[in-house]
Chains A and B, each alone.
Chain A
Amino acid sequence: MTSHSSPFLHPGAIAKTDRLSIVHLKRDLQTPTILKDHDEDDEGYSEGKVVNTRFGSFPHTTLIGLPWGAQVRASKVDTGSRGRRGQKQEKKQPQEKKRKRDDADSTEHPNKRRDSENGDVAISTPVEGKEEKEAETASSGFIHLLPPTPENWTSSLPHRTQVVYTPDYSYILHRIRARPGSSIIEAGAGSGSFTHASARAVFHGYPREADVNGTSKEEKLGKVWSFEFHEQRHQKLEEEIKEHGLDGVVQITHRDVCEDGFLVEDQSPKADAIFLDLPAPWLALPHLTRSSPPNASLGTSEAGTPAANGKAEASTTPFLSALNPTKPVHLCTFSPCIEQVQRTISAMRKLGWVDIEMVELSQKRFEVRRERIGIDNGAQRGLQTTPASVDEALARLIEVEGTFKTFHETGEKVEGKKDKGNPNNREKILESLVERKVYKEGNLVHRCEPEIKTHTSYLVFAVLPQEWSAEDEEKARVKWVVKIRTEEGQEGGEVIGISRRQLKKAARQAQKDKAIAVTATANAEAAEKGTEETLEGGKEDKIEVE
């Protein structure tokens, strides 16, 4: 396959074969599916590969070739008889014929029962080299076909571990400066939600076969170096990444980074950004240094840190840092417990990380709805027949009082004007929607969704600046000669970074100081004043430019 692109990064205009797509049923109910034009696993449907949902069955052949975002009607699929078939069919006939669904011929059988539908479908005991059946529209429901994004993947992915949710990964990637072309380390890939999001963030082109080893090129393209120490999760994720066409962007290694560090086949990831979702990030930190760490700094207070391990490494091979040597490296750790945070930060301080910050992120999603209060609305199910106002309450009381009186005085029972019919049958609801326009009634209110994630994890951010030796500084000082202004001299450049008010104040202060200091000869004073004025003038110009 020459066109090796990912549907996450280049969805294109239409859903294509062998590419991931998201079958959207309703909010928070989405099914990721790789579209196949024939049934590889041979599940026995006469229509080929089928997605079964609570809203009906959708043969892949009805989805392939549709534009993204399309609403798709369910098809009639025999789901009953296939269970009786033989376990394995020997040959699978690849199905060349692509069937685009024809929306126009949606035959309507609105009142058909499901059992009668079964009758309609041809007996589908699979036969060798079977022709896949043309799908027929059913009225059980519809779905929308969406292109995959890290967001809908996160909400639909198969959970293997705790998932890093969208608000968290968005904020983390923003803060650790994961941008197109960055190289990012992700340790503790887990279910892969962060993997997909970071792949989108750092993606800057697919590597071509030719320059796999061209390190400079690769660096510019951006890459996710993912590590997972759980064997099965690693395998599953590796499969997913391949299926999603991200294998050029993401490299997954099965490893415990706390033990074995971050070098992959003796190559440094040259990471610009790091995300650690590990139970003990402080054990991984010693592998993320600029230079071979003097083990004393760790060994003394941190029991159990692999200081000895680091030492052993250093003694055998020359030290190779996993970090990008020419950039500040941004790090984020993701830990649910405060004790983990404290140990992590303590280790960070000792390893020279700066700008250490800890935050937690809370997300809320809101429900927006119409709140209808009032006796007149009582017909609607789920609404309390509470009066909307005191006036309404009063009117109701008077009415009740009147009925009561009539009953006692005359013994007549006043005809209840109540509608005995179920107010919630379909026609009533439709009528209330179409005729009364209840969607416009009541107060528009919002509230937090019923279940919220009150705590995901604590996020610790830190930066490790680039190393800067005395020699580097020496060189820079030769290139950029420093001119320090002297009290007497007039050379030196413009002053920047000071506001007009501060400038004036400084000038006034300087003048005052001089007035006190200078009690010397008159002509000397005059000369001084002249310089002061010119200086001030220069500053004023600068300000106006700003």
Chain B
Amino acid sequence: MHSLVTPNAWVVLRLPSDSFKLLQIVPNTIVSLGKYGTFSSNLIIERPYNLTYELLDRRAGQKDSDLRIVPASEIHADTIAEEDAASNPKEAEDKVVIGGDGVEFELLAENGEVIIRSNRETIDDSARQTLTMEEIEVLKREGTGAGKDLIAKLMLSHTGIDQKTTFSLAKYKLLKTKKYLKRFTVLPLDVPLLTHWMMTEKDANKILEMRNEAVSLIGSWSNVHFSESLPDTEGGRWLVVDETGGLLVAAMAERMGILHPSSDFNWEGKPEGPHREEAPPATSNTITLVHNNAQPNLSLLKYFLYDPTTTSPPCPTHPLNNHLHALSWLQLLKPSEDTTYSSQIETLSPEELSQMKSAKRGTYYRKLRRWTRTTHIVNSTLNGGFDGLAVASSMDPSSILRHMLPLLRGGASIAIYSPTIEPLVTLADMYSTSRRTAFIQAPPASFAELDDEDRGVEWQGDEDFPLNPTLVLNASVQSARIREWQVLPGRTHPMMTGKGGAEGYLFTGFRVLPAKGRVEARGKFGRKKRGDDKVGAVVKGEMVGEEGVKTSNTEMAQDTTEVKSEDLEMAGL
């Protein structure tokens, strides 16, 4: 996986301007990098990933460039030289170098010699470049050295170059490098990079502005990992609600080892024709996706060569074929109203089949396969026992949980992502300590009249308790965000600008199984106290538990009394 660029693989080309290009590298084609030039795709096929190439100057009469691999030493040459210079200072070693980005300080040595120029005399004028637009254009077209000559000329013909401070000089060079240097880096397309690309260059809204931080957190908190059944232990199955075009499914599949087709998968040996053996749906290490529309939107999975919508899939042996089980909300909640599920295909005898025309027989088999698959997926999903739930959806999370919670086994991890915090705050409030206490103390009549057995599954909530507050433990909301830094000799600081937009939040919790019957709890008491009325403003749960108790039916759940004071004061849960 991801050692050499395989023919027809999707790769990412990173340009000097830090923009990305997603391309499927088809053999014998020409890759165009816009103003940087064009080159033959065969020049990067079966070459390692993460290499940086330079577009060489076109030979006379040729339209495309040849490539040269830029060694890492060359990439870092400038910085290393700068560092070496800094570590062997010729004058005034004890001076501190202070460097900011906009403001620079004038540092004088003891003899009054200027060590670092300040930006006092710099003239904020772009017109100090003596090369004209036309001259630059000519240089761009005819220049050599993959833009390096042009950059050098630009720097030389800048009238104020000697007045520039070290910092502004470095900045100027970086600016021009990004604009003119003809280099690119080939990167493998995987979930972190796809997320980054969607966030920065494509439509961030399509993936609900789900950053890499959020993607990784969802994975951890829904405890998704490779988990195939063992002889004596069942493996893992995960439930997903994904409205990010398949990004969440891809992220989970990557963690489960079922996203990237095995590297020995060969394009050339792709079997022709529709006839192929369909692997039976896997029973463990699976993702069960519940989707809103008749068909799931998994458009981003095409970059990983999985496309369930076509009849000629790009990779017939893709592991997602039998590890991804998709069903609609209709199939989950009202299977009888779903046409595919409810119209059983009659099994035909071999004689009947042999009398059919081949096209008709094909249709029959296709329908039968579809029906078998759907029935299997719907029935196994309804059986429940899932190990985790991951959600990235714009739907009301409580409506999702109402139907998903009964399908989760005890101890299952729940992770719900939302670009904004409000839906998650509302959800967390449904599991607040005070609400749970009220529920335990006085369960709603509609709940109380159900049998113990059915309660978990059947009760659909009411106005006061939209969800059964005893089914989720440790409901909490969090977020994580990275801050990028520039690390250069003497110029280390956080990036000046970044991307705004939604922050991205995560609700986490565990599905639990409340004990049957009344649970009472008073905490463990070291001392006993008398006199309810004398108790001061801060009332400890234990005291409440011990005193002022008439009968057992006023006993509170232990953590309720414990947290009660905190709850009113601070603790959200």
Interface residues of A (CB under 8 A from B): 3, 5, 9-13, 24-27, 53-56, 67-74, 103-104, 106, 108, 110-111, 113-114, 139-142, 144-147, 149-151, 166-167, 169-171, 173-175, 177, 179-181, 197, 200-201, 203-206, 222, 301, 326-328, 338, 341-342, 345-346, 349-350, 352-370, 380-383, 421-422, 424-427, 429-430, 433-434, 437-440, 444-446, 450, 458, 460, 463, 465-468, 473, 476, 479-488, 492-498, 502
Contacts and interface: CB of A to CB of B under 8 A. Distances in A.
Contacts of A54: 523-524
A294 to B, nearest CB: 11
16 contacts: A3-B233, A5-B232, A55-B523, A69-B410, A139-B520, A140-B522, A146-B473, A179-B257, A354-B185, A370-B434, A425-B539, A426-B548, A430-B554, A476-B45, A479-B46, A496-B30
Interface stretch (B18-26, B110-118, B271-279): B18-26
B519 A368 contact: no
B237 to A, nearest CB: 12
Contact of B64 (A169, A328, A485, A496): A485
Interface string B517-558: 111111111001000110101110000110111011011111
B306 to A, nearest CB: 16
B311 interface: no
Contacts of A496: 23-24, 26, 29-32, 41
Interface in B1-58: 1-4, 13, 21, 23-24, 26-34, 38, 40-43, 45-52
A488 B2 CA distance: 38
Contacts of A177: 2, 190, 192
Nearest to A434: B442
Given A67-B409, A496-B29, A496-B32, A483 B42 contact: yes
B487 A356 contact: yes
Contacts of B523: 54-55, 140-141
In the A-B complex, list the 4 residue pairs whose CB atoms are closest, starting with the nearest.
A69-B410, A68-B411, A180-B257, A367-B572
A434 B441 contact: yes
B212 A142 contact: no
A104 B517 contact: yes
B185 to A, nearest CB: 8
B63 A350 contact: no
A9 B522 CA distance: 35
B549 A150 contact: no
B432 interface: yes
Contacts of A353: 72
A327 B260 CA distance: 15
Contact of B231 (A3, A349, A425, A437): A3
A13 B421 CA distance: 33
Interface stretch (B159-167, B219-227, B353-361): B219-227
A31 to B, nearest CB: 14
Interface string B429-455: 100101101100110000000000000
A479 B44 CA distance: 12
B28, B87, B254, B573 — which one has the most chain A CB atoms within 10 A of its CB? Answer: B28
Interface stretch (B78-86, B150-158, B171-179, B323-331): B78-86
Contacts of A70: 410, 512-513, 515
Interface string B307-343: 0000000000000000000000000000000000000
B29, B231, B511 — which one has the most chain A CB atoms within 10 A of its CB? Answer: B29
Contacts of B104: none
B369 interface: no
Contacts of B257: 179-181, 204
A110 B520 contact: yes
B563 to A, nearest CB: 7
Interface in B161-204: 185, 188, 190-192
Interface stretch (B92-100, B127-135, B477-485): B477-485
A159 B218 CA distance: 25
B480 A368 contact: no
A162 B161 CA distance: 48
Given A104-B517, A502-B34, A364 B478 contact: yes
Contacts of A493: 26, 28-30, 40-41
B446 to A, nearest CB: 16
A480 B24 contact: no
A57 to B, nearest CB: 8
A173 B216 contact: yes
Contact of B512 (A56, A69, A181, A383): A69
Given A5-B230, A492-B30, A363 B515 contact: no
Contacts of B481: 361-362
Interface string B385-405: 101000000000000000000
A464 B558 CA distance: 54
A3, A205, A495 — which one has the most chain B CB atoms within 10 A of its CB? Answer: A495
A497 B11 CA distance: 11
Contact of A487 (B1, B63, B552): B63
A69 to B, nearest CB: 3
B558 A141 contact: yes
Contact of A338 (B216, B256, B492, B518): B492
Nearest to B38: A495
B128 to A, nearest CB: 30
Given A201-B225, A327-B3, A430-B556, A167 B516 contact: no
Contacts of A180: 225-226, 255-257
Nearest to A149: B223
A498 B524 contact: no
Contact of B23 (A10, A206, A467, A497): A497
A433 B30 contact: no
Contacts of A328: 2-3, 48-50, 188
B416 to A, nearest CB: 14
B428 interface: yes
A346 B50 CA distance: 20
B235 A426 contact: no
A211 B423 CA distance: 50
A382 B434 CA distance: 15
B268 interface: no
B567 interface: yes
Nearest to B412: A69
Contact of A359 (B29, B441, B482, B533): B482
Given A27-B573, A359-B482, A71 B63 contact: no
Given A174-B212, A483-B28, A496-B26, A144 B473 contact: yes
A491 B512 CA distance: 66
Contact of B567 (A108, A369, A383): A369
B75 interface: yes
Nearest to A21: B411
Given A67-B513, A463-B50, A10 B227 contact: yes
B569 interface: yes
Contact of B568 (A103, A382, A468): A382
Contacts of A151: 220-221, 223, 413
A27, A345, A352, A439 — which one has the most chain B CB atoms within 10 A of its CB? Answer: A439
B559 interface: yes
B483 A362 contact: yes
Contact of A360 (B1, B215, B482, B512): B482
A493 B7 CA distance: 15
A487 B233 contact: no
Interface in B213-250: 213, 215-217, 219-221, 223, 225-228, 230-236
A390 B547 CA distance: 40
Contacts of A352: 71-73
Contact of B192 (A174, A440, A497): A174
A538 to B, nearest CB: 11
A366 B410 CA distance: 25
B564 interface: yes
